[in-house]
Amino acid sequence: MKVRFDNLVSYHGAAESNQLDLLGAKKSAKQTVFPRDHRNSVARSTRGFRMRKLGLLCVLFILRCVSAGAESYKGLITLPIDLYTVEGIRLAKGKYETEIKVDKNRFILSFYSEGKTIAVIGGEEVQGDLFTLPATLPLAGTHYLRSSAEPLQTAQERQFSKTGLPQYAEETRDWKAAIRVYKSQTGAVFFVFQLRGEGGAYRRADFRLSSQEIRR
C-alpha cells in the first residue's frame, strides 16, 4: 500500500498540534489561581453569612423563650456610633425604637427600625451591688421607658404637661424603668436597664454590645 508522504506529514503535524493544545490547556488551568486577597474576601463573606444566619437563629430562640404575656418597656434611643452584637449584626448610628421584655428572670432587648427587627440581645441580671457599673464613659443619656401595662395617651394628651416640664422630667409621671448606655476603654458597650418593682425594690440587667466590628 502506498501512502503519500505529504499526507503523512500532515497527519503527524495535526497530532502534534492537538497534543500542544492539550498541554497548553492543562498549563492554563494550573495557572488559573485566584489572588490571595480574593480568596480571603470570599472566606470573610462566607463567614459573615454564617454569622448572620447564626444570629438569626439566636434571635428566634430568644424570642421563643419569652412568654406572650411578658411585660415590656418601650422607648426611643439615638445611637451616636455604630454598634455590633456578639453575632456580628451591625446597628448603624441613628434612631431606633427599643423594647425590653421582662419574663421572670429573662431580659430581652430588641431594636426596631421602620417596623423591622434589627437585633435582639439577651441580658444578664446583676446580682448584689446594683450601683457598680461595668463601664463609666456615658454614650447616651438616661432614657425612660414606658411600660406596656400603662395605657397609651392620645397625641393631644401627650402634648400637654400639668407642670410645664418636658416629658422626661414630668413630675406627675411615675417612671419605673430607665436605660443608660456606657462605653468601656476596651470598646465594650453596655446598655444598663434599671427597673423599680413592687415595694421600691430595684432590678438591673446589662446588655453587652461592642463599638468594634467582631471578626471571626
42-76: pLDDT as tens digits: 455 555 555 555 555 555 555 555 556 678 999 99
Mean pLDDT score, 148-159:
66
Show the domain range for 161. Answer: 36-210
Residue 180: inside a domain: yes
1 part of a folded domain: no
Q: What is the helix (H) or strand (E) element at residue 194, kind and residue range?
A: strand 188-196
Name the residue with higher pLDDT: 178 or 19. Answer: 178
**Location of C-alpha cell 470598646:** 187
> What are the backbone angles phi and psi of residue 55, rounded to the nearest 5°?
-60, -40
Q: Which of 193, 173, 192 is nearest to 182 (CA)?
A: 192
Decide if 11 is inside a domain: no
* CA dist 93 → 77, 79, 83, 145, 193 (Å): 10, 5, 7, 20, 20
Q: Which H or E run includes 185?
A: none
Task: Let me know if residue 101 belongs to a domain.
Answer: yes
Mode of pairing for the β-strands spanning 124-125 and 137-147: unpaired
Cβ-contact 196, 202 below 8 angstroms: yes
pLDDT tens digits, one per residue of 155-201: 665 565 555 555 555 555 667 999 999 999 999 999 999 999 878 89
Mean pLDDT of all residues in the chain?
75
* Closest by CA position to 216, among listed 56, 58, 52: 52
Residue 25 inside a domain? The answer is: no
Q: How many domains does the chain have?
A: 1
By the 8 A CB rule, do 73 and 147 touch?
A: yes
20 occurs within a structural domain: no
For residue 190, tell me if it sits in a domain.
Answer: yes
Q: Are strands 177-183 and 188-196 parallel, antiparallel or unpaired?
A: antiparallel
Query: Amino acid identity of 55?
Result: G
